[in-house]
Amino acid sequence: MIFEDLEIIWRDKGSQPTHTIDDEALRRIVAESARSYRRNIFWRDLSEIGMDVFVVVVLVAVGLWAEWRSGGGHFRTISPLLVTAIGYAFVATFRLASRQRQKGREKKFDDSIRGNLERLVANADYQIRLKEKFFWWYMLPIVPGFFLITRSSTSDAPPIAQGVFWAIVAFIFGAMYWGNSHGLRTDLIPQKKELESLLAGLEAGGQTAEIRSGSPSSPPVPLSRRIIGLSVAALIFGVVGWLLWANYRPAEHPEVPKFDDISALGESDKTRIDAWLRETVERSHYPSLSVAIVRDGKTVYQRVFGFENIWAERMATTNTAYHVASVTKVFTASLAVMLHERGVVNLDEPAIKCLPAGVAISTEPELGATITLRQLASHTSGLPRGVPGVVQSVEGRYDLEPERLYGLLAGVKLEYLPGMGERYSNLGFGLLGHALERAAQKPLNQLLQELLCGPLQLERTAYHVDENLPVATGYTMTVQLPETHSYRERLAGSGGLVTSVGDLAKFLAAQMQPGVFTSNMLAQLHTATKLQDGSPATRALGWRIDSTNPAGLILSKNGGRKNCSAWLGFAPEHGIGVAVIANIGGPDVDPIGQWLLERSVPGGSRPASKTGYSKVAPFSGVRWENDRPVVFVQDRWSPLASIDGIPIDRIMEFAQKEFRGAARMRFAEDLPQVLSTMGHNPKWEVTLGLETKDGQVEQIKVRMTEANRSRVRDKRLESQ
């Protein structure tokens, strides 16, 4: 701006009325001053928008990278960084829209001297109001994600560490607030006063008003303020970066155990299991891992590794209670069968009978009224997977407010006709739990204590978390920060159980021998539900059924959230069961439980049997040359000559006769089935005859794994 020239002309015009002043020159000076001011504001706005975009891009990139690294390519959790980025992008967009509206308001001023001055005053006033709302425009975007990290990361820290951490937080926000206030006092407010003084002088008819020299344009930011701003930004990103770096653990999925048979469960077997589980805890970075194996009604193996609380270095024990998420469902289903046996409910009657009059299930209440309790317990009700909204008002507890649930039920759309298909439904099981407590006129947790916990002596099991049942601290898989959950959109009967691995072992034993459960109850719990067309579903009441496993029939249930992972399974024909829990969202503990169960069943460690075939392969890639396979083994492609001494031509000839057009796919993805069907029962380790470049055949022992088979299948799908 040419503010000093403007001030000199103004004084001359006011003190020498006989002197002719070129009003056009004065107008040009004021107009140029206004343009200069607007240019400065424009570049300041542009720099802030650029910074907004940069911050959002960085936060999103780091957040997605952390999620991808921790989840093996699956975005299992919403990173606090992504929450921050979303908030920052929203407020930045709102701020930009506000400035565009302000520019529209300024268009009403003309290019006269007075109009330009009024435009400058209006703009300065807007800038001041913007800065006065500094918290909402600049600090609010970083608050949600920042406190998602800081609150959880310090909740279990020693008092000194908490004090230091919150002192840093206070300094960050205090410095930001001081910098903003200082800018208002020394920059924008004085500019506005100067502009108002000039405008007052114009309105006084050219009489001189008190004018301070200077420019209403935005002056260069002092070096001290630049240093403070950069320091604050660096400190913010430094703290967030430190939290991620200090807590990040690039977890790897558990490796297949090297032992094939532990069915004797002698001391040597237990030693091998111990060594493998310790290696798994270290490899997968589980804070703690609890494992139990049951045989013939007795717990024959029970171990716990790691910490129930990392900050406090408190070791987990066999009595440590954990969240087990959807493993809850088999407990709820068991209660349903017990109440059915006692005549309190009829599993084959509509669930609507257990609810108050006038409550509708789904947007098609006529169909919703036909949904039975058995369909809720077997995921065949047609209800969707998720709970459609908030069903309780208290954070951190499963305290259902029934009226909230009833209001949501009426708006739910069925995904298929009840009994006509399968769809895993947390809503369905949550509704089942509520129906049971209404029918029995007792809270669900009271039913659990009376019917299961008391008779089975489950001392560390409940549907609700309270001070009488301390629970292992749960951790996020992303950066291993303590993670708590709001239960406002969850139902107790679906995922509210807290229990210990010792109690799960007792529950498994009860599922395999008549006692608390009669033979009729066990048959109902373990028999596949019939669909309306007469075909069997893949699930019983609460349990998933696997009838194709080489170890025989297996019933299992898994569960997982951001702060826990659990697996429960048993082979009823052999009286063997396994329970596994970890206080972290991943990697899933399902493979650990499955591998231990299969290897604990006598003869169950084979990849193929009369009852089923494991989905494994000894190679991670297959391509074909003249109908003969070339396989990828030990980081190289080699023509395959034989498997366990059987010529490859003989294997492929049999596959083509048995599977016709699917022969190649079966060979690549179902090798155990191909070999077993032709009369050769393979072991987990097979000997491949690989042709070398000089025409010789090299014999290499290779272990068949699920990972290899998955790679083969993925490559086939990619090529289609």
Q: Are 559 and 634 in the same domain?
A: no
Q: Are 594 and 684 in the same domain?
A: no
Residue 357: CB partners within 8 Å, gap ≥ 6? none
Q: Are 629 and 595 in the same domain?
A: no
pLDDT at 11 over 60: no
| End-of-domain residue from the set 247, 262, 287 | 247
User: Does residue 37 lie in a domain region?
Assistant: yes
Give the Cα separation of 238 and 341 in Å (integer): 61
pLDDT for 71: 41
pLDDT for 40: 65
Give the CA dihedral 369, 372, 377, 380, nearest 10 degrees. -70
Indicate the range of 99-108, 335-344, 482-491 predicted with least confidence.
99-108
User: Does residue 517 lie in a domain region?
Assistant: yes
**Contact call for residues 298 and 510 (beta carbons, < 8 A):** no
Burial of 311 (0-12, 13-18, 19+ CB in 10 A): middle
Task: Give the mean pLDDT of 90-101.
Answer: 71
The separation between the first and the last C-alpha atoms of the chain, rounded to the nearest angstrom, is 67
pLDDT for 397: 75
pLDDT for 548: 84
User: Does residue 81 lie in a domain region?
Assistant: yes
Residue 609: CB partners within 8 Å, gap ≥ 6? 550, 551, 552, 603, 676, 681
pLDDT, one tens digit per residue, over 369-408 is 999 999 999 999 999 999 999 998 777 778 899 999 999 9
Give the domain extent around 481.
Answer: 321-600
Q: Are 339 and 460 in the same domain?
A: yes
Q: Following DSSP, what letter does each residue of 36-72 receive, concatenated?
A: HHHHHHHHHHHHHHHHHHHHHHHHHHHHHHHHHHHHT
Longest dimension (CA), the chain: 120
Q: Are 487 and 530 in the same domain?
A: yes
Q: Are 110 and 211 in the same domain?
A: yes
pLDDT at 33 over 70: no
Give the Cα separation of 617 and 628 in Å (integer): 17
Which range scores top for mean pLDDT: 279-288, 482-491, 501-510, 704-713?
A: 501-510
CATH code of the domain in which 650 resides: 2.30.42
pLDDT, one tens digit per residue, over 664-682 is 999 999 999 999 999 998 9
Give the Cα separation of 165 and 232 in Å (integer): 15
pLDDT for 141: 60
Q: Specify the DSSP element, H or E, that contains 495.
A: helix 492-495
Where b means 16+ CB within 10 Å and e means fewer, 287-299 reads: bbbbbbbbbeeeb
pTM for this structure? 0.68
User: Does residue 411 lie in a domain region?
Assistant: yes
Indicate the range of 106-110, 214-218, 472-476, 482-486 predicted with least confidence.
214-218
User: Does residue 278 lie in a domain region?
Assistant: no
pLDDT for 617: 94
Q: Are 542 and 632 in the same domain?
A: no
Give the Cα separation of 408 and 279 in Å (integer): 46
Q: Are 644 and 517 in the same domain?
A: no
User: Does residue 19 lie in a domain region?
Assistant: yes
| End-of-domain residue from the set 216, 247, 278 | 247
Q: Are 530 and 643 in the same domain?
A: no
Task: Provide the CB-side half-sphere exposure for 620 (13 A, CA).
Answer: 10
pLDDT for 484: 75
Q: Are 594 and 676 in the same domain?
A: no
Give the Cα separation of 497 and 447 in Å (integer): 13
Number of H-type helices and E-type strands within the chain: 25, 15
Task: Give the mean pLDDT of 481-487.
Answer: 75
pLDDT for 75: 40
Q: Following DSSP, what letter does each residue of 66-91 receive, concatenated?
A: HHHHHHTT---S--HHHHHHHHHHHH
Residue 110 vs residue 711, higher pLDDT? 711
Q: Are 385 and 237 in the same domain?
A: no
Confidence of residue 529 (pLDDT cuts 50, 70, 90): very high
User: 380: how many CB neighbours lie within 10 A of its CB?
Assistant: 26
| End-of-domain residue from the set 247, 279, 305 | 247
Task: Give the mean pLDDT of 60-68.
Answer: 60
| Count: domains in the chain | 3
pLDDT, one tens digit per residue, over 610-662 is 778 888 999 999 999 988 999 999 999 999 999 999 999 999 999 999 999 89
Mean of per-residue pLDDT scores for the chain: 81
Query: DSSP assignment, residue 453?
Result: I
pLDDT for 143: 62
pLDDT for 18: 40
Q: Judge if the upstream peptide bond of residue 80 is cis by omega within 30 degrees of 0.
A: no
CATH code of the domain in which 501 resides: 3.40.710.10
Residue 385: beta bridge partners? none
pLDDT for 345: 97
pLDDT at 157 over 80: no
User: Does residue 66 lie in a domain region?
Assistant: yes
**Contact call for residues 619 and 636 (beta carbons, < 8 A):** no
Q: Are 232 and 358 in the same domain?
A: no
Q: What angle do CA 518, 521, 524 make, to 5 degrees?
A: 150
Task: Give the mean pLDDT of 534-539.
Answer: 92
The CA R_g of the chain, rounded to the nearest whole Å, is: 35
User: Does residue 607 lie in a domain region?
Assistant: no
Q: What angle do CA 128, 132, 135 make, to 5 degrees?
A: 140
